[in-house]
Chain A
Amino acid sequence: MKRRPASTDQPLNVTPLIDILSNIVFFLMLSISFVHLRMVSASITQASDSNDLDTETALTVTVMMGDYGYRANARDPQKKPTEGGEEKKDFPKVGDKWDNDGLAAWLRGIKLRAPKSDSVIITPEPSVPLSRVVDAMDHCREAPVQGGGGMMPTFPKVVLSSLVK
């Protein structure tokens, strides 16, 4: 008995291919995250950090965070506090709301007076949630330009510190 040669002109069956591809697409869509991860830079205080500061031109800007809100301080190492070398400002919390805009505006003013300053030391109290700390870092890093028209970088180098226990 002779076998019939396999026919070559049969239409291609694409159903398994479509099945497999649609399954792959389904699993990929399940595993995909439409989350766009970004980064916020920070460092902790180190003994060598003081060498990086240009004390001739840079101010020491610190922001404390706690139940009281923000307590900001800008100090000129070249002048005594009594000679106008220190500027302080409190931004109390209103209920649960932090005065982020007030802090950003104050820091913008400091930046305009001392353009070479680019570091800020944030010292949160132990109970402050991380989300609030990140918020503070955002508002220290940049501020809205006065009169609108985008954002200007203020203190992009953020150092996180802690209160001595």
Chain B
Amino acid sequence: MEGGIRKKRHKKHHTEELNIIPLIDITANLLFFLMVGMDLKEKAEAGEKVELPVSSSKSQEEVSMVRVAVTKEELLLEGVKQASLEGGKIARSDINKDGFLGKLRAELEKKRKAIEASGLDMTLEKNKPVVFMLADRSLEYDTVELVMRTAGSAGFPRFRFGVLSK
């Protein structure tokens, strides 16, 4: 009887070694593709509050850009709040007497001067400063236009609107 139990125990310990190499391979591949597909940057900057317009555009060009996000509540430049929105319109207190967004304009002017100081040839098309705008699709044009006009007055007359592909 005792001998029988010992035999059984001995059988239990006799297991084959698990080959984990295929598992690690697959997981590493999965991680790689997930990280490539990740789009955390846009999410963080827009705060996931922006419902982007839909477009048939296929453009995904890589140019140096200043990021502006316009949600229903606030206007952000590189993730930093520049103005508030009330009912989809920019708060009057954020508009200066010239009809521009004072804080945004000052910040953009600083950025433009920094670009100029870096010695980039601004006459070249690829070096011309561009604003990448993530604006909520429900915003009225006059809100977007005020942001664009302010950016234009600060030396950023070119824009790329972030859109979702159809």
Q: B-contacting residues of A (Cβ < 8 Å)?
A: 11-12, 14, 17-18, 21, 24-25, 28-29, 31-44, 46, 124-131, 133-135, 137-138, 141-142, 160, 162
Contact = CB atoms under 8 A, between A and B. Distances in A.
Q: Which 10 A-B pairs have the closest CB atoms?
A: A126-B142, A131-B137, A134-B53, A39-B160, A131-B53, A33-B39, A124-B141, A40-B161, A28-B34, A128-B141
Contacts of A141: 57
Instruction: Provide the main secondary structure of the chain B interface.
Output: mixed
B59 A129 contact: no
A33 B164 contact: no
Contacts of A44: 148-149, 152, 157, 159
Nearest to A49: B157
Tell me if A's interface is mostly helix, strand, loop or mixed.
mixed
B98 interface: no
Interface of B: 15, 17-18, 20, 23-24, 27, 30-31, 34-35, 37-40, 42-43, 52-61, 132, 135-142, 144-145, 148-149, 152, 157-165
27 contacts: A12-B18, A17-B20, A18-B23, A21-B31, A25-B31, A29-B34, A32-B34, A33-B38, A37-B164, A41-B59, A41-B160, A42-B161, A43-B159, A44-B159, A46-B157, A124-B141, A126-B141, A126-B145, A129-B137, A129-B139, A129-B141, A130-B136, A130-B138, A134-B54, A134-B137, A162-B141, A162-B145
